[in-house]
Amino acid sequence: MGALLQTLIAAAVMFTTALAEDAKPTRVLLVTGIDHPAHNWHTTAPVIREILEPEHQFAVRIVKHPDLLASEMIFDYDMVFLHFQNDKPLTREHQVRVNLTRFVKRGGPGHHVPLPTRGRSGRSAPSIRIEM
């Protein structure tokens, strides 16, 4: 959990700006929900929310279906936080890639908590990379 905490603190520092008293919190879409031997998202996702929300700089919504990244819903958020490790492609993987690329190109920050790169089979698990 130490590496996760360091990652979260780094994300908070990177994406936090000085907020005026009347400023709205940064809307974060935390995408999770795929089980993996090294990923207990039921436990870790709420902890991420607890770390980010106390100062009211972030408003975190947890979604448990990564395929929602293929919908226009992601554009309602200021930041997308990927917190899953899939060992198979997502059902709508192509559209997920298109949306995440659009999100980043429009200036929306994203963050990914790195997990082990090997699936149960020992092969490297697929990942989504976005290049600018």
Residue 118 banded pLDDT, cuts 50, 70, 90: very low
For 29-41, the pLDDT digits (tens) are 999 988 777 778 8
CA distances from 58 to 1, 5, 12, 14, 104 (A): 21, 16, 9, 13, 18
Task: Decide if 100 contacts 111 (C-beta within 8 A).
Answer: no
Looking at residue 120, its pLDDT comes to 46
Domains within the chain, CATH numbers bracketed: 2-17+25-112 (3.40.50.880)
Question: Which residue has tokens 């020992």?
Answer: 122
